[in-house]
Amino acid sequence: MFHRPKICIDDFEAVAMPHVADLYRCASWLVQDSWEAEDLVQEVYLEAWKSFHRFEPGTNCRAWLFKILFHRLHHLRRRLWRASRLESLESGGDLDSLVAEPPVPQEIRDDDILLALAKLPLDFREVVVMADVQEFSYKEIAETLKIPLGTVMSRLSRGRKLLRQELAGVARAYGVEPAEEHEGESA
């Protein structure tokens, strides 16, 4: 015999609906299609409602919804994105090369940063979005994406660096050159 407390949809909506915008933002940047993102977010909410009995009141509902989002995203990825995995980027080279990076623009336009973000391989993009936009901790990101903590750190570092390199390209297009005082001997 068991007994569950009665849960109504109003309880679910009260804790879950405030996160629609965050989920939509994240989904939009990861699937790169607003219509697909809307469908994805709707499916996340349906799935969350169906398993709401497993949600522990008082715990982080936002993190729980993101776990469902990425669970569904990874299903999508198997179909849509397998070809774009860039293992070599993840495993290759020194993450923080001592070679000075060209400067990013002083003022970064929304279009430029979004274009740069869209160019990141998805493995890196999702970690950058989770850390820098959604401001999840490394531990939460690792749990949500089901990857080791070290992988979170390396992907974030690599993703941020790729983002800066893309923006540096924009800076060069604006005529901004690397600072002379950084030139010197190799470390």
Partner 1 sequence: MNVLNFQSKECERVRRQLDAYLSNELLVETTSDVLKHLESCEACSRELESRVRVREALQTAAAKLLPPEYLGQAIRQRLRRAQPAWFGGFQATSWVAALASLALVVAVGQQWFRFERGKQLVASVLTLGVSDHLHCAIQAHNYPEIANPPDQLRQKLGPEYAALLPVVQGKLPGFQVLEAHICRVPGNPREYVHFIARGRGTILSVILTQRKGQSLPEARFVAAATSGGVELYRARLGAASVAGFETNDYFGFVVSDLGQDEMVRLAAGLAPALRNALGRSSGTERAAARAFLIAFVLAGLGAEHNRPGHYGSARKPQ
Handedness of CA 70, 71, 74, 79 (dihedral sign): negative
Q: Are the beta carbons of 98 and 61 closer than 8 angstroms?
A: no
Residue number with CB closer to partner 1 (21 or 83):
21
CB of 150 to partner 1, least distance (A): 12
Please, which residue, 82 or 180, has the CB nearer to partner 1?
A: 180
Q: Which two tokens stand for residue 75?
A: 């299903």
Minimal distance, residue 96 CB to partner 1, in Å: 5
Instruction: State the minimum distance, in angstroms, from the CB of residue 146 to partner 1.
Output: 19
> Within its chain, how far is the Cα of 100 from the centroid?
26
Sites of contact with partner 1 (CB under 8 A)? 1-9, 12-13, 17, 20-21, 24-25, 28, 34-35, 38, 41-42, 45-46, 49-53, 95-96, 98-104, 106, 108, 110, 113-114, 117, 128, 131-133, 137-138, 153, 156-157, 160, 163-164, 167, 178, 182-187
DSSP tag of 18: G
154: burial class by Cβ within 10 Å (0-12, 13-18, 19+)? middle
